[in-house]
Amino acid sequence: MRVIVVGNGIAGVMCSKFLRDRGLQADIDIFTDEKYDYYPRPNLIEFLAGRIPENRLFAFKEEWYLEKNLNVHLETPVHSIVSEEGKLVTGGEKEEKYDILVLANGSRPFIPPIQGTDKKRVLSLRTLDDCYEIMDCLETHPNVTVLGGGLLGLEIARALITRGVSVQVFEFSPRLLPRQLDEKGASLLKKQIENMGISINLGMTCEEILGSGEVSGLRFKDGRTFTTEVVIVAAGVKPDVQLAAQAGLRTERGVMVDEQLQTSDPKIYALGDNVEFDGKTYGIIPAAFEQAKAVAAAVAGEKIEYTGTIPSNSLKVAGLDVTSIGVANPEDNESIELRTFDEKTGVYKKIVVRENILIGAIVMGTKKRVPDFSRLILEKTDIGRWKERLLEDDFDLSGL
């Protein structure tokens, strides 16, 4: 049997690893358009900030692939899938037969419909080559703008400021991390980031990137303009469904999959950033891990149902730990929101409870309580009797 995995990001590589861990005796080939072996994308931020050297970017050495008997085909993009014949076509029009195909080709940066995005020094950060391009620009153009105040945008800004360049962030929402934080948490985060020397501008919608061939500034919907030399677009990502759609697989926002991560073709599975399950796309590392385990089990002949992943995001900005788990901003009338804020320590905690079940939490300024909150959300524990005490520092959650 031959299993072909398209994509060597965390989803594709972990799925291949889990297949070997299950003792699957099959040829496993990984095809990727990148020229590098697998590196965790969060490492790009650390590399950009100068906190890790290039040789520490990569998760596995060449010996690991040999030990796992994984055949990696670098710089070999997959152009098309001929599902009825069980084959795909790679660069150079070479045909590759498969018995099982796993699509783990991820997502692409979302570029908003802004006039002038084709200008020189308008960049995004998704790959190691993108990282090199950004660093090259910084050597001669130290005035940088990040379009997007989400997780990636803030991480990029944090990395850039360590390089001594001028950084300003523009976010169209009235607060930072609008999906992960509430107004109080976002306000605390904004203050912390501005203390680093990063300019934060909220409620700003960019309409045009100015300049003749090269970036010189930005024009916003309210008519204001700002000068800049480099623009890094961090407006989120879109699942890469082009290959799947060409093959005739069911796609909407992502590649549609069932509880075994199987697509509309029983010989083709999909996982990672390009997947849509139960109306949701995830784009987070925990989901890639859980989906990789489910795919590996299914291919090896054991069914493990994937039921979805509780969203969880953590970052650290200027020493401030920020964690958002589950539903941080409920839109229904049944949910109860409880908060505490310690002015002295700067610790902010919030929980969201629906029908006596913890469904979401925000924890800022500490990592304490995060594992407990995550467990209670995952296990759907009835906390009705104790919900008023969950935020107390001396309340023991281990027995719940």
Torsion angles phi and psi, residue 376, rounded to 5: -60, -40
CA distance 207 to 117: 10
**What is the reported pLDDT for 313?**
86
Confidence band of 396 (pLDDT split at 50, 70, 90): confident
* CATH fold label, 122-233: FAD/NAD(P)-binding domain (3.50.50)
Per-residue model confidence as pLDDT tens digits over 155-213:
999 999 999 999 999 999 999 998 889 999 999 999 999 999 999 999 999 999 999 99
Asked whether residue 92 carries a pLDDT value surpassing 80, the answer given is no
Sort strands 27-31 and 2-6 into parallel, antiparallel or unpaired.
parallel
Nearest 5 degrees, angle CA 312-CA 315-CA 320?
A: 125
Torsion angles phi and psi, residue 128, rounded to 5: -65, -40
User: Do 122-233 and 2-108+237-299 have the same topology in CATH?
Assistant: yes
Average pLDDT over residues 248-259: 97
Burial track 200-226 (b if 16+ CB lie within 10 A, e otherwise): bebebebeebbbeeebbbbbbeeeeeb
Per-residue model confidence as pLDDT tens digits over 318-356:
678 999 999 999 988 899 999 999 989 889 999 999 999
**What is the reported pLDDT for 250?**
98
**Token pair belonging to 56:** 């520490």
Asked whether residue 10 carries a pLDDT value surpassing 80, the answer given is yes
Looking at residue 224, the DSSP 8-state letter turns out to be -
Per-residue model confidence as pLDDT tens digits over 262-278:
999 999 999 999 999 99
For residue 294, give the H/E element and its range.
Answer: helix 285-299
Best CA proximity match to 197, nearest among 142, 134, 130: 142
For the chain, the domains span: 2-108+237-299, 122-233, 319-389
Q: In CATH, what number does 319-389 get?
A: 3.30.390.30
CA distance 379 to 374: 9
Q: In CATH, what number does 2-108+237-299 get?
A: 3.50.50.60
For the chain, the average pLDDT equals: 94
**What is the reported pLDDT for 12?**
97
Asked whether residue 314 carries a pLDDT value surpassing 90, the answer given is no
**What is the reported pLDDT for 318?**
67
For residue 107, give the H/E element and its range.
Answer: strand 107-109
Average pLDDT over residues 83-104: 94
Q: What is the Cα 254 distance to its own chain's centre?
A: 15
